[in-house]
Amino acid sequence: MEPRHSKWKEYVEYKIARNKFHKLIGLEFVNIQPGLIEAELVFRDDLQQQNGYLHGGVSSAICDMVSGFASYTMVEQDQQVFTVECKVSYYNPGIADRFYAKGWVDKPGKRFHFSASEIYYLRDGVKVTVAKSTTTMAVVEAGVVAPKHM
């Protein structure tokens, strides 16, 4: 996939820096490529649900963020994205010390990007999927919902 403007990576890094929620939960972005974002999360007690697993709301938020930032890698200058639909399917309980998340763009469009994501952990070197999502991101001109940047 080819980015749609020359400062795409700086723009995505700027958007990630402006997102306060990922900092709150401790999500760290470790790889930014055109159409792809990868992140990691160290499990903490305050991220668990009543049975001690990673909370589904945290999983859902991570799916949304990695899909959204992957979509930001594929916008033109002065465009931004926001979620219009996100369907999350939960495969296994999140029982690990560290989680990995990947978001990617399946089909970039002029007005909508169709993206997907996955959260997983490694158990004895074997990938265990916690959740997967499919997401539709609206692509809008900057200034429609927030000020322009870059």
Its sign, for the CA torsion 9, 14, 19, 24, is positive
Range of the domain at 129: 8-141
pLDDT at 150: 56
Q: Tell me the pLDDT tens digit for each residue of 132-145.
A: 999 999 999 987 55
Q: Are 139 and 107 in contact (CB under 8 A)?
A: no
At residue 20 the predicted structure's pLDDT band, cuts being 50, 70 and 90, is very high
The model's pLDDT over 70-81, given as tens digits with 9 standing for 90+, comes to 999 999 998 999
First to last CA, the chain: 22
Tokens (6 digits) for 109: 């469009």
Spatial contact of 105 and 74, defined as CB atoms under 8 Å apart? yes
Structural domain contains residue 88: yes
Tally of domains in the chain: 1
**CATH classification of the domain holding 105:** 3.10.129.10
Whether 32 is in a domain gets the answer yes
pLDDT of amino acid 142:
80
3-class DSSP state of 61: helix
Name 54's bridge partners: 48
Does 148 reside within a domain? no
Residue 147 covered by a domain: no
Residue 1 domain-assigned (yes or no): no
Q: What is the 3-state secondary structure (H, E, C) of 76-119?
A: CCCEEEEEEEEEEEECCCCCCCEEEEEEEEEECCCCEEEEEEEE
Yes or no: say if 84 and 48 are a contact pair by the CB < 8 Å rule.
no
Residue 123 domain flag: yes
Residue 150 belongs to a domain: no
For residue 149, is it within any domain? no
Confidence band of 148 (pLDDT split at 50, 70, 90): low
Give the Cβ contact number of residue 41 at 10 Å. 23
